[in-house]
């Protein structure tokens, strides 16, 4: 594989800089917006891996959250979260085998995406199945899911398969760097997330006073592993608070206006901050997706240094003969060659030009979408049609803003059996005592999100569906009829000062299991 020149046109999609007095500035800006194709390859591999991790994590509760025997049957999907109505292939059936089949198909597409086989088509299929999965049960989604759903389609407009891919091996050439409207949109998306979040946090009174992380890490519902111990170090948390606010508020300067080794160091600082959430907070995919969002900022010098640290066998280009049946040119290339031989070269040229133009137009629209709706969300005046435009590709990033919550909760589901005894519908015995670790009362962050949705819709479809599922679970567990189910939510003020107040109880649902 021979590297193509950056000086050749980026398939018609290169941004051009005007001449004149602004030429030095625009030249520097172009240099900072230019993306190394190795960074795009790393982005593709990371996004595909995230899709696989997500599927593996969801698979453990596939029956609970995605089938008619679970907490959110298709009947509930059809009448709740109406903005997602019609977007879910998964909702075509509530059978377990159907969901397992779709999970398997999604996994195969994600694996093909990782290795870069027909990168853009399989990436698009992965995106369609991701939207379908999200639409099937929006109640289990968090900010990481939404960012993944918004960020993935932006990346598909860029040449993710330019390097380190089966596509690149078959093509036989690559560009070292690219600059298009689409790559600029990919660079802009994390800046919008961080900048908007910094503005929204400024509306509170804890982040910019150094107190927010002390409150956040006193929230036992969210902290895990090392996070359970950080509240004992308030000085450290205050320092981390100011560091995090600085990274958010200064993201445009730190990421966009740096270059070379300095930019590489800055990106690694951001990645370190994101990955620091994994052993401390129960926030699902969020740290991984945030990491993916800044990978495109890694400059060529980072990859040049990294290449010197690994064996040549890793960095050397593999032969296409190792691809076996995939070694030949792609089907469309063979088709184009056949058309040229038959005298239809003008048709081939037109289709190439049309494809390049379409990608350019879509890239411009993507960049405009990120900037208009991302910046507009915190503007004084509302952006027209914001709700409609961002129903699937959300651009509101108010996580932990304006302030982290100063209390946490857990849920208790009790069952009254036919003999009159009260027992836990599932899990441990019925107790209203504060648990030693509130986060451990949830199977995963998805259960925490779903139970929050149940609490908000306790008299509606989601609450009723959960109660009916709990009736079935209790009946199966105790092998006898269940009279009723009662769901409680326990609230505990976060012990920011180290002292616990008494938790208080709220009855959310009292459901008659014999009525249905």
Q: Are residues 374 and 298 in the same domain?
A: yes
Burial group, residue 170, by CB count within 10 angstroms (0-12, 13-18, 19+): buried
- Could you give the number of structural domains in the chain? 2
Q: Is the alpha carbon torsion for 304, 306, 312, 316 positive or negative?
A: negative
Last residue of a domain, one of 336, 357, 389: 389
- What pLDDT is recorded for position 332? 66
The pLDDT tens digits of the residues spanning 442-484 come to: 999 999 999 999 999 999 999 999 999 999 999 999 999 999 9
Q: Give the domain range for residue 455.
A: 407-512
- What pLDDT is recorded for position 40? 98
Parallel, antiparallel, or unpaired: how do β-strands 173-175 and 35-36 relate? unpaired
**Can you give the pTM of this predicted structure?**
0.92
Q: Are residues 115 and 190 in the same domain?
A: yes
Q: Are residues 74 and 140 in the same domain?
A: yes
Last residue of a domain, one of 389, 418, 441: 389
Q: How far apart are CA 221 and CA 216, in angstroms?
A: 10
Q: Are residues 423 and 335 in the same domain?
A: no
Q: How far apart are CA 151 and CA 172, in angstroms?
A: 29
- What pLDDT is recorded for position 141? 97
Strands, E assignment, 394-481: 407-417, 422-424
Quick one: which of 352, 342, 213 has its CA closest to 280?
A: 213
Quick one: which of 516, 287, 506 has its CA closest to 399?
A: 287
Q: How far is CA 208 from CA 38, 396, 423, in A?
A: 37, 20, 46
Q: Are residues 383 and 415 in the same domain?
A: no
Q: Note whether 450 and 411 are within 8 A (CB).
A: no
In a domain, 471, yes or no: yes
In a domain, 307, yes or no: yes
Phi/psi at 283 (nearest 5 deg)? -125, 20
Q: How far is CA 22 from CA 18, 33, 181, 259, 390, in A?
A: 7, 16, 20, 19, 35
In a domain, 106, yes or no: yes
Reduced DSSP (H G I as helix, E B as strand, rest coil) percent helix, strand, coil of the chain, to 5: 55, 10, 35
- What pLDDT is recorded for position 7? 41
Q: How far apart are CA 235 and CA 365, in angstroms?
A: 45
In a domain, 18, yes or no: no
Helices (H) and strands (E) in the chain, counts: 22, 8
Q: Are residues 326 and 418 in the same domain?
A: no
Q: How far apart are CA 72 and CA 75, in angstroms?
A: 8
**Alpha carbon 420 to its chain's center:** 46
4 forms bridges with which residues in the sheet? Answer: 175
Q: Note whether 73 and 461 are within 8 A (CB).
A: no
- What pLDDT is recorded for position 184? 98
Q: Are residues 319 and 418 in the same domain?
A: no
In a domain, 217, yes or no: yes
Radius of gyration from C-alpha coordinates of the chain: 26
For the chain, list residues with pLDDT below 50.
1-3, 5-17
In a domain, 19, yes or no: no
- What pLDDT is recorded for position 334? 66
In a domain, 400, yes or no: no
- What pLDDT is recorded for position 6? 46
Q: Are residues 414 and 323 in the same domain?
A: no
Q: How many CB atoms lie within 10 A of CB 120?
A: 17
The pLDDT tens digits of the residues spanning 353-386 come to: 877 889 999 999 999 999 999 888 887 667 776 6
Quick one: which of 189, 283, 208, 214 has its CA closest to 249?
A: 208
Q: Are residues 261 and 375 in the same domain?
A: yes
Q: How far apart are CA 306 and CA 36, in angstroms?
A: 14
In a domain, 273, yes or no: yes
Q: Are residues 60 and 167 in the same domain?
A: yes
Q: Are residues 297 and 268 in the same domain?
A: yes
- What pLDDT is recorded for position 381? 65
Last residue of a domain, one of 389, 417, 448: 389
Q: How far apart are CA 108 and CA 122, in angstroms?
A: 9
Q: Are residues 255 and 140 in the same domain?
A: yes
């Amino acid at each position: 594989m021979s590297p193509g020149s950056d000086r050749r046109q980026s398939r018609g999609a290169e941004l051009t800089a005007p001449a004149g007095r602004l030429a030095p500035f625009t030249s520097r800006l172009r240099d900072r917006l230019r993306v190394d194709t190795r960074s795009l390859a790393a982005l593709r591999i990371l996004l595909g891996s995230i899709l696989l991790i997500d599927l593996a994590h969801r698979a453990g509760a596939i029956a609970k959250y995605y089938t008619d025997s679970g907490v959110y049957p298709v009947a509930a999907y059809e009448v709740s979260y109406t903005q997602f109505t019609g977007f879910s292939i998964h909702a075509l059936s509530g059978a377990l085998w159907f969901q397992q089949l779709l999970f398997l198909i999604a996994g195969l597409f994600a694996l093909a995406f990782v290795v870069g086989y027909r990168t853009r088509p399989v990436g698009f299929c992965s995106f369609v199945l991701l939207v379908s999965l999200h639409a099937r049960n929006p109640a289990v989604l968090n900010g990481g899911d939404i960012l993944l759903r918004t960020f993935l389609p932006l990346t598909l407009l860029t040449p993710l398969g330019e390097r380190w891919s089966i596509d690149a091996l078959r093509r036989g050439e690559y560009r070292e760097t690219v600059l298009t409207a689409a790559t600029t949109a990919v660079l802009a998306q994390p800046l919008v997330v961080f900048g908007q979040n910094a503005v929204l946090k400024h509306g509170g009174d804890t982040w910019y006073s150094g107190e927010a992380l002390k409150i956040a890490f006193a929230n036992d519902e969210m902290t895990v592993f090392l996070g359970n111990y950080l509240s004992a170090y308030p000085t450290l948390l205050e320092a981390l608070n100011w560091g995090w606010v600085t990274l958010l508020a200064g993201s445009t300067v730190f990421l966009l206006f740096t270059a070379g080794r300095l930019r590489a160091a800055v990106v690694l600082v951001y990645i370190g901050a994101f990955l620091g959430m994994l052993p401390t907070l129960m926030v699902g995919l969020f740290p991984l997706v945030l990491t993916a969002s800044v990978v495109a900022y890694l400059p060529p010098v980072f990859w040049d240094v990294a290449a010197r640290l690994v064996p040549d066998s890793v960095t050397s280009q593999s032969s296409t003969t190792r691809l076996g049946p995939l070694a030949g040119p792609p089907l469309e290339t063979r088709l184009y060659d056949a058309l040229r031989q038959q005298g239809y070269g003008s048709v081939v040229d037109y289709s190439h030009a049309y494809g390049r133009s379409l990608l350019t137009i879509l890239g411009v629209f993507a960049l405009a979408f990120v900037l208009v709706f991302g910046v507009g969300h915190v503007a004084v005046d509302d952006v027209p049609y914001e709700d409609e435009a961002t129903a699937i590709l959300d651009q509101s990033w108010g996580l932990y803003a304006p302030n982290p919550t100063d209390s946490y909760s857990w849920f208790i589901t009790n069952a009254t059996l036919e003999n009159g005894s009260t027992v836990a519908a599932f899990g441990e015995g019925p107790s209203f005592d504060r648990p030693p670790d509130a986060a451990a009362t949830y199977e995963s962050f998805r259960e925490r999100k779903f139970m929050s949705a149940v609490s908000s819709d306790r008299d509606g479809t989601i609450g009723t569906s959960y109660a009916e599922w709990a009736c079935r679970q209790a009946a199966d567990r105790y092998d006898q009829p269940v009279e009723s189910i009662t769901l409680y939510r326990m609230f505990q003020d976060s012990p920011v000062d180290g002292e616990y107040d008494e938790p208080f109880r709220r009855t959310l649902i009292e459901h008659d299991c014999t009525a249905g």
